[in-house]
Amino acid sequence: MKIGIYGGTFNPPHLGHLAAARAAMDALGLDKLLLMPAATPPHKELPPGSPPAADRLAMAEKLADALLMPKAVQVSTLEMDRPGPSYTADTVEQLHEREPESELWLLVGSDMFLSLHTWREPERIMKYASVCAFHRTQADEAARFAAQKERLERDYGARIQLIPVPGLVEISSTRLRELLSQGEGREYLHPSVYGYILLHGLYGTHADLKHLALPELRACSYAMMKEKRVAHVQGVEEEAARLARRWGADETLARRAGVLHDCTKYLELPEQLALCRQYGVELDALERSAVKLLHSKTGACIARAVFGEPDEVYWAIFWHTTAKADMTTLEKILYVADYMEPNRDFEGVERLRALAYEDLDRALLLGVETTIQEMIDRQLPIHSNTLAARDWLTAHGVSVTL
């Protein structure tokens, strides 16, 4: 097994790290990549204003998740858990002892690579690990890299592979932290990492969560979910915006509802119940036991309480899972957009997509009927609001056949 080790302070992890990690996975054909946030680097203290280890760890987790290879890419706390200063030589030896059959690859950026001979016990590092160095595609760096490669091979018998990373993001962490404290720097960060920084007010960001512009709102929402759900949420936002234009609803509110609609999807039942209690949402017996029915309610509460969204957005999110009798246009739009956004794929989705732009009520009813049929097929209890939505629509002359 080929294992990559990508260490660093990840203070914060940025798009340069992401590009490098992706390039190493591909170029080396790694089976596994360990992102390894350093406890405190041996050669320097973390700069003032750096977040605690727990936050750097959480951001590294976001970066790992961003690669969308959950089995292969993991965050390792090996160095963070080790008391005192952490040395790479110890790390690679420890990993080697754990898995003697595996081939270890230490991934390093330019500065690290060019100073590798000055690290503690370079011979021990290169005894246990091969070295993969990322370089930008400019010529001057290529020459210095080649010289360093030769030197390390000669002095330590190192195995070295240089990989060019096209479009490697040129940003120092120092500069990025400075930008963040001035309310800038978004373009250097993966959205979910940026959102984590905003939500926790790291690096002096002080964002006013109740008045976020759309890019910041998206970042915060994505930070609350797994990367694999982000495409769906983006799809819902765009579809809701299109439907709002078609049906004369407020496009901005439709977008914001789309962005936030599944923001609590990853909370477990106890957390969902605690939020409902905190915000005074009354639940029936089915809701108390079916976690899938709660994220719409808790998502609405977070949208209002944390992000300052207005009632229209609150209610659109609140009803997006079951629907209900007598819905507003925005509520219908979010429900239908959630059902047929471009990433959805089920039998009949094309018909629903077409109908959504011809007759919103019939599209809504088709969605509700599809859910009812699915609940019957899966022998799950149908929520009373789902039934109420159907009954209200049919009582008002709306009809579809499945």
Residues touching ligand DGI: how many (CB under 6 A)?
17
Minimum distance, C-beta of residue 262 to ligand DGI, in the bound complex (Å): 5
Interface map 316-335 toward ligand DGI (x if CB under 6 A): ----xxx-------------
Among residues 108 and 336, whose Cβ is nearest to ligand DGI? 336
Q: How far apart are CA 197 and CA 200, in angstroms?
A: 5
By a kind-dependent CB cut-off of 5 to 8 A, residue 210 interacts, out of Fe ion, ligand DGI, none, with none
By a kind-dependent CB cut-off of 5 to 8 A, residue 380 interacts, out of ligand DGI, Fe ion, none, with ligand DGI
Minimum distance, C-beta of residue 68 to ligand DGI, in the bound complex (Å): 18
Give, for 162, the enclosing helix (H) or strand (E).
strand 160-164
Among residues 101 and 377, whose Cβ is nearest to ligand DGI? 377
How close are the terminal C-alpha atoms of the chain, in Å? 50
Q: How far apart are CA 82 and CA 267, in angstroms?
A: 30
Q: How far apart are CA 134 and CA 369, in angstroms?
A: 54
Output the CA–CA distances (angstroms, integers) from residue 132 to 9, 144, 294, 390, in the order listed.
Answer: 18, 15, 46, 60
By a kind-dependent CB cut-off of 5 to 8 A, residue 382 interacts, out of ligand DGI, Fe ion, none, with ligand DGI
Give, for 195, the enclosing helix (H) or strand (E).
helix 191-199
Minimum distance, C-beta of residue 321 to ligand DGI, in the bound complex (Å): 4
Answer yes or no: are the C-beta atoms of 64 and 45 closer than 8 Å: no
Among residues 169 and 290, whose Cβ is nearest to ligand DGI? 290
By a kind-dependent CB cut-off of 5 to 8 A, residue 189 interacts, out of ligand DGI, Fe ion, none, with none
The interface region with ligand DGI, picked from 77-85, 89-97, 237-245, 291-299 by CB under 6 A, is 291-299
Q: Are strands 103-108 and 129-135 parallel, antiparallel or unpaired?
A: parallel
Among residues 91 and 272, whose Cβ is nearest to Fe ion? 272
**Residue from 55, 216, 262, 369 that binds ligand DGI (CB under 6 A)?**
262
Q: Does 383 bind ligand DGI (CB under 6 A)?
A: yes
**Residue from 142, 382, 388, 398 that binds ligand DGI (CB under 6 A)?**
382
Among residues 76 and 296, whose Cβ is nearest to ligand DGI? 296
Q: How far apart are CA 64 and CA 120, in angstroms?
A: 28
**Count of other CB atoms within 10 angstroms of residue 380:** 13
Interface map 335-354 toward Fe ion (x if CB under 5 A): ---x----------------
Closest C-alpha among 224, 221, 223, 226 to residue 237: 221
Going by C-beta distance under 8 Å and a sequence separation of 6 or more, which residues neighbour residue 26? none
Q: Does 309 bind Fe ion (CB under 5 A)?
A: no
Answer yes or no: are the C-beta atoms of 30 and 2 closer than 8 Å: yes
The interface region with ligand DGI, picked from 35-43, 153-161, 180-188, 381-389 by CB under 6 A, is 381-389
Strand extents, DSSP E, 25-145: 32-37, 73-75, 103-108, 129-135
Q: Does 290 bind ligand DGI (CB under 6 A)?
A: yes
Give start and end residues of each alpha helix (H) in 279-377.
Answer: 285-289, 295-305, 311-318, 329-340, 349-358, 360-377
The interface region with Fe ion, picked from 32-40, 176-184, 247-255, 334-342 by CB under 5 A, is 334-342
CA angle 20, 21, 22 (to 5 degrees): 90
Tokens of 303: 């949208």
By a kind-dependent CB cut-off of 5 to 8 A, residue 381 interacts, out of ligand DGI, Fe ion, none, with ligand DGI
Interface map 256-275 toward Fe ion (x if CB under 5 A): ------x-------------
333-362 positions binding ligand DGI, by CB under 6 A: 338
Q: Describe the crossing of helices 191-199 and 227-247 by its angle, rounded to 10 degrees.
A: 90
Which residues make up the interface to Fe ion (CB under 5 A)? Answer: 262, 338
- Give the footprint of ligand DGI on this chain (CB under 6 A): 262, 265, 290, 292-293, 296, 320-322, 338, 371, 375, 380-383, 386
